[in-house]
Amino acid sequence: MKAGVYSGMGSFPWRGVPWANRSHRLAPGLTLPGFAAFLLLLLSANIGRAEPKPVLYIPSRILPPAPHREFRAGWVASVANIDWPSKPGLPVATQKAELIALLDRAAELRLNAIVFQVRPACDALYASKLEPWSPYLTGVMGKPPEPFYDPLAFAVAEAHQRGLELHAWFNPYRALHPSSKVPLSPNHISRTHPELVREYGEFLWLDPGERAVQDYSLRVVMDVVKRYDIDGVHFDDYFYPYKVKDAQNQKVDFPDAASWKRYGASGSLSREDWRRDNVNRFVERVYQAIKATKPWVKFGISPFGIWQPGHPAQIVGLNSYEELYCDSRKWLMNGWVDYCTPQLYWSVQKPETSYPALLKWWTEQNPLGRHLWPGLNSGNVGGKWTAGEIVNQIRITRDQSADSGHIHWSMKSLLQNRGSLASTLKSDLYSEPALVPASPWLERGTPGEPRLAFRGQDRFTWSATGKADPWLWVLQAKSGADWTTTILPGDARTQTFAHLPDSLALTAVDRCGVAGHPVVLDRSRVARSAN
């Protein structure tokens, strides 16, 4: 054997290695002793190095902490282009971009719902065969957007992708707002059924005493409930209108003499009680119709924050029971709403309209345990108030009720971060995500326990069980002693981690906010110690 030439029997073990050629000769300059030394070095480097053991996750009986519950929402008003769109007649791409910016801000702040105005004044921000396209959208009443899209369908889809509920907000009786200066379309209710419409001040108003009006507005609401995947129906404080005054500064009565004579005068009720009864019967009909069609769709009303002065004793202000003919206390006590959002737009400190005093009174009028989520005047921040006023009101609400929640008037104040309110909430009260409080009176079952699996490296996948897909997933990861909660939309099926958790819990949540039993995987101790 010549020096430097390998002549061993069998196949050469280092075929393909750069320093070996196809004739099994050592690379030029490499002697046999040198090769042997290199081989010993290579073998010694691998002595004691064990193959890494696979990471294993096994079922666990530990329970994660209950996720935080709080309704966090913002009103998105389209009337007078308050929140969206910013002005009439914008290009479709701009309209969509503005709406996405609102929804992105809501998700960034960890809100969980949007109250989206779809019927400001017998017009529609959606494709309707019953009412004309809103002039606040295109600048022309009755004109659809071009290129065509359906803003409500778009808003629902985009909200749900972000895990946000979308509540469709209707004004049941307002027929025309003075901010609209465009000509009425031929299919507007004032043209098709002028006998149902009353002129009152600068407004046109449907007469709540006309039975045909109640039927018509109910048909409009239920058309949306049936055709769109909304999470709630919402009315604000406008039923009978706020009183207008004449030239002598005297209040003008609502012009409903014709309907009063036709339906009320011969009955046993006073005219005032008859008006309240008109509203009461309509509210009850809406609630029953929604539950007969889609039981999980919540119905909420946001009445004026003072039911009557003197309730509680220190309260002074407008009497919505007498002037708006709204017996909002009755709706809450009878369970005709799933949530009540009294507009408590006053500060904590002012005794005659005290926020905590009014909130406590409303809480005491709730024998059936419906949701009580007050409306907050967040638009005052950056002007009359600092962000601390809203922060204080939210803390008071949390202290007074385990079923906490609130709605900000309006989303514009959060989008613009007026008075640093949005950034303050994000870093403090909204630092953790929250589920919408459950509505167990709407529930017909409990979500199934999902199937959760670790797929190696950094990825987990899961699938749903049961008849219906979950609305949301609550994913909770434990590292050391700390749990981190993430809320994901119901179509999510996988999650990756930069650092694998010690434990992972997954819970399904249905459209009523009811959570199932969590499935939990625990990283095995053997696998954990090996990594």
* pLDDT tens digit at each of 531 positions of the chain: 444 333 333 333 333 444 344 444 444 555 555 555 555 554 555 555 555 678 999 999 999 999 999 999 999 999 999 999 999 999 999 999 999 999 999 999 999 999 999 999 999 999 999 999 999 999 999 999 999 999 999 999 999 999 999 999 999 999 999 999 999 999 999 999 999 999 999 999 999 999 999 999 999 999 999 999 999 999 999 999 999 999 999 999 999 999 999 999 999 999 999 999 999 999 999 999 999 999 999 999 999 999 999 999 999 999 999 999 999 999 999 999 999 999 999 999 999 999 999 999 999 999 999 999 999 999 999 999 999 999 999 999 999 987 899 999 999 999 999 999 999 999 999 999 999 999 999 987 899 999 999 999 999 999 999 888 899 999 999 999 999 999 999 999 999 999 999 999 999 999 999 999 999 999 996 655 555
Cα–Cα distances in angstroms (integers) from residue 281 to residues 169, 196, 286, 332, in the given order: 19, 18, 9, 14
Question: Hey, what CATH topology would domain 71-437 get?
Answer: TIM Barrel (3.20.20)
Domain with CATH 3.20.20.80 in the chain: 71-437
Task: Dump the DSSP string for 54-68.
Answer: PP-EEE----PPPPP
In the block, residue with structure tokens 């099926």: 493
In the block, residue with structure tokens 């006023």: 389
In the block, residue with structure tokens 């801000």: 105
Measured distance CA(228)–CA(115) in Å, rounded: 15
The strand pair at 113-119 and 165-170 is best described as parallel
Looking at residue 133, the DSSP 8-state letter turns out to be B
**Residues whose CB falls within 8 Å of the CB of residue 297, separated by 6 or more in sequence, listed in order:** 225, 230, 231, 232, 233, 290
Quick one: pLDDT at residue 37?
Answer: 56
Report the b/e string of 447-467 with b at 16+ CB within 10 A.
Answer: bbbbebebeeeeebebebeee
The strand pair at 71-76 and 113-119 is best described as parallel
Measured distance CA(58)–CA(465) in Å, rounded: 19
Within 10 A of 366 (CB to CB), how many other CB atoms are there? 17
Indicate the length of the chain as a whole number: 531
- Do residues 481 and 463 touch, judged by C-beta distance below 8 A? no
Quick one: pLDDT at residue 523?
Answer: 96
Within 10 A of 148 (CB to CB), how many other CB atoms are there? 8
Crossing angle of helices 271-293 and 211-227, in 10° steps, is 20
Q: What tokens were used for 433? A: 């995500």
Helices (H), 195-343: 211-227, 257-259, 271-293, 320-323, 328-334
Quick one: pLDDT at residue 50?
Answer: 56
Burial class of residue 93 (count of CB atoms within 10 Å of its CB; 0-12, 13-18, 19+)? exposed
The strand pair at 71-76 and 472-479 is best described as unpaired
Measured distance CA(272)–CA(324) in Å, rounded: 10
Q: Computed from CA positions of residues 327, 333, 337, 342, in that sequence, does the dihedral angle turn out positive or negative?
A: positive
Measured distance CA(88)–CA(524) in Å, rounded: 59
> Taking Cα atoms as reference points, which of 337, 326, 396 lies closest to residue 372?
337
**Residues whose CB falls within 8 Å of the CB of residue 322, separated by 6 or more in sequence, listed in order:** 272, 308
Quick one: pLDDT at residue 17?
Answer: 40
Quick one: pLDDT at residue 51?
Answer: 59
For domain 57-65+443-530, the CATH class is mainly beta
Measured distance CA(132)–CA(288) in Å, rounded: 27
**Residues whose CB falls within 8 Å of the CB of residue 244, separated by 6 or more in sequence, listed in order:** 200, 201, 202, 251, 252
| pTM score of the predicted model | 0.89
Report the b/e string of 122-135 with b at 16+ CB within 10 A.
Answer: bbbbbbbeebbbbb
Quick one: pLDDT at residue 49?
Answer: 57
Measured distance CA(430)–CA(422) in Å, rounded: 9
Domain with CATH 2.60.40.10 in the chain: 57-65+443-530
- Do residues 189 and 119 touch, judged by C-beta distance below 8 A? no
Quick one: pLDDT at residue 44?
Answer: 54
In the block, residue with structure tokens 């670790």: 454
Within 10 A of 8 (CB to CB), how many other CB atoms are there? 9
> Taking Cα atoms as reference points, which of 310, 307, 288 lies closest to residue 299?
288
